């Protein structure tokens, strides 16, 4: 998988000027989303038993915007919380506290509402995710977090390598790489995560199952079977489908049949231009601290 992704990216960028845009955009988006799926596998302990080696295998920031260590630490917090979707506990929540919602201006409310439709998540979601993360990280660095500053310095050095290859050697303008690779790649990732979690009475009922076809299941490395992954995050991607088939009835009973049996086509039909949930979290919160920062569920 890693070899295919990196080789595909090298070939696509090298032959960029010889290919039509309508081929570059879906291929570039696919490869970057696939790389994100592999980063997800690495932070859960694959393909080797050595965490440092796993990290090095996926650390190249093909998508530019997100350092792998930031994603790794945030996603592990997401798995440790016992309150999925709670904006105070879950760093991958797309909800805001009801009290904060009341204090937001009309433009920010409109953006968050649009982001809770599938069309908005695919079109606006990538820009919102990047801006939210960068703002939070800039505040940490400005506040004197030297460790974070060092992390971003290393990340920028790796981004420089990527841009030297794509821009200087392959002749791809930066804007074309962002619009033709990064944006569609993140949009594909956000398609997967759009309906993964919802507020619920208990933890199991907050996590979905999407019975996707073989193509998108391969792209997402079976992470569409999300309840299985949350049940056993240490399982490698190729074992998830076998476990799901063996335990399907039990899993669907536990999550209140929160399942999309029609795959992502069903999600498109239901939510393309329709609000999936209100952006304000329906739960009550007694927290006094700040909300977590969503890093785009990946």
Residues 113-129 have pLDDT tens digits of: 999 999 999 999 999 99
Q: What is the pTM of this model?
A: 0.94
The 10 Å Cβ neighbour count of residue 57 is 18
**pLDDT classification of 148: cutoffs 50, 70, 90:** very high
Rounded mean pLDDT, 32-43: 98
How far, in whole angstroms, is CA 261 from its chain's centroid?
Answer: 22
The tens digit of pLDDT for each residue in 152-169 reads 999 999 999 999 999 999
The bridge status of strand 209-210 relative to strand 259-260 is parallel
Residue indicated by tokens 């977590």: 292
pLDDT digits (tens, 9 = 90+) for 170-225: 999 999 999 999 999 999 999 999 999 999 889 999 999 999 999 999 999 999 99
Q: What is the pLDDT of residue 288?
A: 47
Q: What is the pLDDT of residues 235-293, one digit of tens each?
A: 999 999 999 999 999 999 999 999 999 999 999 999 999 999 999 999 855 554 555 55
Query: What's the pLDDT score for residue 283?
Result: 81
pLDDT single digits (tens) 210-250: 999 999 999 999 999 999 999 999 999 999 999 999 999 99
How far apart (Å, rounded) are the C-alpha atoms in residues 114 and 91? Answer: 20
Sign (positive or negative) of CA dihedral 115, 121, 124, 127: positive
Q: Say how far apart CA 94 and CA 78 lie, in whole Å.
A: 12
In the block, residue with structure tokens 């821009």: 167
pLDDT at 295 over 80: no
């Amino acid at each position: 998988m890693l070899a295919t992704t990196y080789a595909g990216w090298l070939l696509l960028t090298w032959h960029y000027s010889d290919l039509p845009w309508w081929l570059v955009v879906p291929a570039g988006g696919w490869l970057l989303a696939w790389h994100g799926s592999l980063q997800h596998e690495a932070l859960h302990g694959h393909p080797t038993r050595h965490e440092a080696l796993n990290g090095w295998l996926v650390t190249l920031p093909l998508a530019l915007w997100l350092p792998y260590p930031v994603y790794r630490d945030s996603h592990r917090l997401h798995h440790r919380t016992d309150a999925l979707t709670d904006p105070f506990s879950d760093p991958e929540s797309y909800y805001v506290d009801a009290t904060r919602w009341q204090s937001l201006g009309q433009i920010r409310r409109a953006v968050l509402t649009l982001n809770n439709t599938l069309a908005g998540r695919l079109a606006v979601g990538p820009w919102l995710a990047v801006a939210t993360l960068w703002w939070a990280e800039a505040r940490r660095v400005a506040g004197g977090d030297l460790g974070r500053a060092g992390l971003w310095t290393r990340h920028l050095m790796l981004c420089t390598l990527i841009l030297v290859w794509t821009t200087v050697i392959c002749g791809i303008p930066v804007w074309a790489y962002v619009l033709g690779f990064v944006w569609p790649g993140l949009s594909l990732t956000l398609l997967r995560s759009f309906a993964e979690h919802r507020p619920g009475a208990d933890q199991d009922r907050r996590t979905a199952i999407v019975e996707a076809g073989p193509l998108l299941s391969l792209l997402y490395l079976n992470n569409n079977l999300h309840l299985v992954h949350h049940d056993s995050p240490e399982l490698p991607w190729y074992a998830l489908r076998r476990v799901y088939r063996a335990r399907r009835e039990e899993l669907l009973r536990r999550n209140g049949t929160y399942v999309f049996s029609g795959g992502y086509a069903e999600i498109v039909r239901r939510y393309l231009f329709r609000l999936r949930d209100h952006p304000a979290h329906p739960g009550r919160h007694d927290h006094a601290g700040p909300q977590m920062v969503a890093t785009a569920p990946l």
